């Protein structure tokens, strides 16, 4: 028996019916005897603890940018920039980076101009690391 696929193309063997899905939200579909369905979930942003860390990091980086920088300020800002980049691009900061950053912030904390922001980042790291 011979049929068409709906576009007028001749197919040998059996009648074929096309499937069209206009739009779909969530889930996966597989057709045919060898069909496989794969579902991929994309997150729309970091989890709340990571978001809190991101906000605190951005606030501290903003404060560091407003003052005359020392070498220590620049090194701290570089570490904060890496954490910010990890959260914005991958949704989470590398936990291996957070421990050393926590130590640097604890030593840096007494600087009066940034004390509140440093404390906020320390608290946010503690939340992320559990």
Distance, in Å, from the CA atom of 26 to the CA atom of 59, rounded to the nearest integer, reads: 36
pLDDT for the residue numbered 1: 46
Q: What is the pLDDT of residues 31-72, one digit of tens each?
A: 777 777 776 655 566 799 999 999 999 999 999 999 888 888
If you count them, how many residues does the chain have?
Answer: 130
- Angle at which helix 95-108 crosses helix 71-90, to 10 degrees, equals 150
* Average pLDDT of the residues in 24-28: 65
The contacts of residue 110 (CB under 8 Å, 6+ apart) are: none
Q: For residue 80, which phi and psi values (nearest 5 degrees)?
A: -65, -40
Which CA distances in Å does 61 have to 38, 73, 74, 114, 118? 41, 9, 10, 10, 10
Burial of 109 from C-beta contacts in 10 A (0-12 / 13-18 / 19+): middle
pLDDT for the residue numbered 90: 92
Full-prediction pTM beyond 0.85? no
pLDDT band at 123; cut points 50, 70, 90? very high
Is the model's pLDDT at 8 over the cut of 60?
no
Q: What is the pLDDT of residues 70-122, one digit of tens each?
A: 888 899 999 999 999 999 999 999 999 999 999 989 887 666 567 889 899 99
């Amino acid at each position: 028996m011979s049929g068409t696929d709906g576009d007028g193309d001749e197919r040998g063997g059996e009648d074929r019916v096309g499937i069209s899905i206009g739009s779909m939200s969530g889930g996966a579909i597989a057709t045919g005897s060898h069909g496989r369905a794969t579902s991929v979930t994309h997150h729309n942003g970091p989890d709340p603890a990571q978001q809190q860390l991101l906000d605190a990091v951005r606030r501290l980086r903003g404060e560091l940018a407003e003052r005359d920088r020392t070498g220590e300020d620049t090194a701290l800002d570089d570490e904060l920039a890496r954490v910010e980049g990890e959260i914005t691009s991958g949704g989470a900061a590398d936990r291996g980076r957070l421990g050393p950053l926590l130590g640097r912030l604890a030593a840096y904390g007494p600087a009066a101009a940034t004390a509140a922001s440093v404390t906020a980042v320390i608290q946010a790291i503690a939340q992320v690391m559990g």
